[in-house]
Chains A and B, each alone.
Chain A
Amino acid sequence: VGPGRAGPRAAAGPGRAGADAVSAPAQGGGSAVIDMENMDDTSGSSFEDMGEMHQRMKEEEEEEAEGEAGAGEEEDGEFLGMKGLRGQLGRQVADQMWQVGKRQASRAFSLYANIDILRPYFDVEPVQVRARLLESMIPVKMINFPQKIAGELYGPLMLVFTLVAILLHGMKTSDTIIREGTLMGTAIGTCFGYWLGVSSFMYFLAYLCNAQITMVQMLSLLGYGLFGHCITLFVTYNIHFHSLFYIFWLVVGGLSTLRMVAVLVSRTVGHTQRLILCGTLAALHMLFLLYLHFAYHKVVEGILDTLEGPNMPPFQRVARDIPVVSNAVLNTTAKAIALTL
């Protein structure tokens, strides 16, 4: 039991040190660099631990079996004692397994669920956010020199949530009914799916076309491009004119698309590559705005034609004009009805 207990503890030492070394760079100064050397620490891996423990358990059981065979005559008196020892062994094994499992889980958790990696991307001032929002609508002119993209995630995240809120508002005012799922789930799924999915796809294309852009920059670029979508939808969900929507789609959507396209072009070399990247981005961006307008607010047009609006006056009875008929006809009709009844 002595050497058995010392084994896992010895393995725990370097394991813990490894975990500390991993978390330390993130705590000191907020750098997002993880020291990869210390991650390759398999001395505390569960397979080896389990293998070691299993081996020791087997050896101990063999020893115990020999002891039991030898002391078989005294079993009557020490029956409870032997059983107690077996139970204690079982409990120790369970305890050790629990410790190892817990250590593994906490190490994995502290490594993968460490949101401190994202900390530098949220370090912004309100002035910066406002400046970037306005800049996202202004196309740059200089495309021969790679344009700077702010690798920031606060603005894009807030814009995605704003889009979710606007979609919800639009769905509620038009009484859209979602049959499979909830309004909130649909809105969140659509907006986050677009932001994350199209960013990943564009990053993949950028990798193929040799563009110089990182994933965070792509997320940031696309996220700020949603500012135009938010403005357009906010206005056109409340003022219902088709032509107004098309004007906004072209002007506002177009401006934000031009900005994103110009930034990408400045970071890509080669005509074909530029065409592929920018064509895809422009198409996806503009089509998404079209989709959002038509899929989530279509019902309102039908309602507007028949109703005055949400604050309808109660149903009113209007007298119909009855054509003038002679008394004789009326009397005959009344008698006929009375007979049939």
Chain B
Amino acid sequence: RHYGGYEYPQQGGFVPPDMMQQQQPYTGQIYQPTQSYTPASAQSFYGSNFEDEPPLLEELGINFDHIWQKTLTVLHPLKVADGSIMNETDLAGPMVFCLAFGATLLLAGKIQFGYVYGISAIGCLGMFCLLNLMSVTGVSFGCVASVLGYCLLPMILLSSFAIVFSLQGMMGIILTAGIIGWCSFSASKIFISALAMEGQQLLVAYPCALLYGVFALISVF
């Protein structure tokens, strides 16, 4: 039997280095180990491919530097946003932030992942339609979802504050209003720099404020 470089097939299968080599040919199908044992396909591309394989994070499209840059842009509301940072759609960061939001709500005793999911889906759809109608150049759904997800970060601060203190007093109202303003200001700043809609920041910020207000409602009550 010729296994194409499989040096000692007669022995009891003790070939760990070759085994690893064979199980990760770059076909993007790491969960089908049986494929690596077919001689015809294994013949053509595993010899040199292990070194040529891109790193896992690059394959998945997760670029930690960009994620960090975007997070910093959100956290400094007065920092001028670069319009090109939203060119690549990145949903890994927003996904992490949504899960973190749900987790902080869980710590406060509210199991509301379903609400977070539903409201973020409907909110993204609504903002997508509105921005497409208001801007000269269109915008893709991934971009809208990405921006709205990144700007959810201050809301995580609010819900983690709600774990320890109740937000239903005057202090809570002021803090909630401040955080909603921060989120919507950052989101509108990124949107108008990416879509070149000067002079309409307030018009974009208001629907964002309504959306984040609903998230704040979940955190507070």
Residues of A within 8 A of B (CB): 115, 118-119, 122-126, 129, 154, 158, 161-162, 165, 168-169, 172-173, 184, 310-311
Candidates A126, A158, A172; contact of B200 at CB < 8 Å: A126
B199 contact from A122, A125, A158, Cβ within 8 A: A125
Q: How far is the CB of B179 from chain A (nearest CB, A)?
A: 16
Inter-chain contacts of B221 with A (CB < 8 A): 172-173
Contact with A along B150-184 (1 / 0, CB 8 A): 00000000000000001011000000000000000
Contacts of A161 in B (CB 8 A): 207, 210
Task: Check if B133 sits within 8 Å of A165, measured CB to CB.
Answer: no
Do B217 and A169 touch across chains, with their CB atoms under 8 A apart? yes
Nearest-neighbour CB distance to chain B for A152, whole angstroms, equals 12
Q: Bound state CA distance, A125 and B213, in angstroms?
A: 23
Are B169 and A311 within 8 A (Cβ)?
A: yes
Q: Mark B99-132, 1 if CB is under 8 A from A, else 0.
A: 0000000000000000000010000000001101
Q: List 27 A-B contacts (CB under 8 A).
A: A115-B133, A118-B133, A122-B130, A123-B134, A125-B199, A125-B200, A126-B200, A126-B202, A126-B203, A154-B134, A154-B203, A158-B206, A158-B207, A161-B207, A162-B210, A165-B217, A168-B214, A168-B217, A169-B217, A172-B217, A172-B221, A173-B221, A184-B119, A310-B166, A310-B168, A311-B166, A311-B169
| B150 → A minimal CB distance (Å) | 22
Check A122 against B134 for contact (C-beta < 8 Å). yes
User: Interface on B for A, CB 8 Å cutoff?
Assistant: 119, 129-130, 132-134, 166, 168-169, 199-200, 202-203, 206-207, 210, 213-214, 217, 221
Would you call B133 and A124 a contact (CB within 8 A)? Answer: no
CB contacts (< 8 Å) of A119 on chain B: these are 133
Shortest CB distance B79–A (Å): 23
Q: Give A12 to B142 CA distance when docked, in angstroms.
A: 32
Smallest CB separation, A112 vs chain B (Å): 15
Q: In the complex the two chains form, is B214's CB within 8 Å of A165's CB?
A: yes
Alpha-carbon gap, A115 to B213, bound state (A): 27
Assuming the A-B contacts A168-B214, A172-B217, A172-B221, are A124 and B203 also in contact, with contact meaning beta carbons closer than 8 angstroms in the complex? yes
Q: List, in ascending order, chain A residues with CB within 8 A of B133's CB.
A: 115, 118-119, 122
**Contacts A115-B132, A115-B133, A119-B133; A165 near B200 (Cβ below 8 A):** no
Q: Which residue of A lies closest to B138 (CB)?
A: A116
B88: min CB distance to chain A, Å: 26
CB-nearest residue of chain A to B204: A126
Q: Which residue of A lies closest to B221 (CB)?
A: A172
- B129 neighbours in A (Cβ, 8 Å): 115
New contact pairs (11) apart from A126-B203, A311-B168, CB-CB < 8 Å: A115-B129, A118-B133, A119-B133, A154-B203, A158-B210, A165-B214, A184-B119, A310-B166, A310-B168, A311-B166, A311-B169
* Shortest distance between the CB of B71 and any CB in chain A (Å): 27
Residue of A nearest to B118 (CB): A184
A129 contacts B203, CB within 8 Å? yes
Question: Does the CB pair B213–A165 fall under 8 Å?
Answer: yes
Q: A125 to B199: give the CA distance in the assembly, Å.
A: 7
Residues of B within 8 A of A165 (CB): 210, 213-214, 217
CB distance from B73 to the nearest CB of A (A): 23
Q: Which residues of the partner chain A approach B119 to less than 8 Å between Cβ atoms?
A: 184
In the bound assembly, the distance between CA atoms of A126 and B199 in angstroms comes to: 8
Q: Nearest CB to that of B122 among chain A residues?
A: A184
Q: In the complex, what residues of A have CB within 8 A of residue B202's CB?
A: 126
* B213 contact set on A, CB distance < 8 A: 165
Query: Which residues of B have CB within 8 Å of A129?
Result: 203
Residues of A within 8 A of B132 (CB): 115
Which residues of chain A are near B134, meaning CB under 8 Å?
122-123, 154
CB of B108 to closest CB in A, whole Å = 15
CA distance A119 to B134 in the complex (A): 7
In the complex the two chains form, what is the Cα distance from A172 to B213 in whole Å? Answer: 13
Q: Which residues on the B side are within 8 Å of A162 (C-beta)?
A: 210
Residues of B within 8 A of A123 (CB): 134
Complex: how many Å from CA A125 to CA B203? 8
**In the assembled complex, which residues on chain A have CB atoms less than 8 Å from the CB atom of B130?**
122
For the complex of A and B, 10 pairs with smallest distance between CB atoms: A122-B133, A172-B221, A126-B202, A310-B168, A122-B134, A161-B210, A119-B133, A165-B210, A165-B213, A126-B203
Q: Within the complex, what minimum Cβ distance (angstroms) separates B99 from chain A?
A: 21
Contacts of B169 in A (CB 8 A): 311
Chain B residue nearest in CB terms to A119: B133
Interchain CA distance A126-B197 in the complex, whole Å: 12
Residues of chain B within 8 A of A125, CB atoms compared: 199-200, 203
CB-nearest residue of chain B relative to A161? B210
B174 to chain A, nearest CB (A): 14
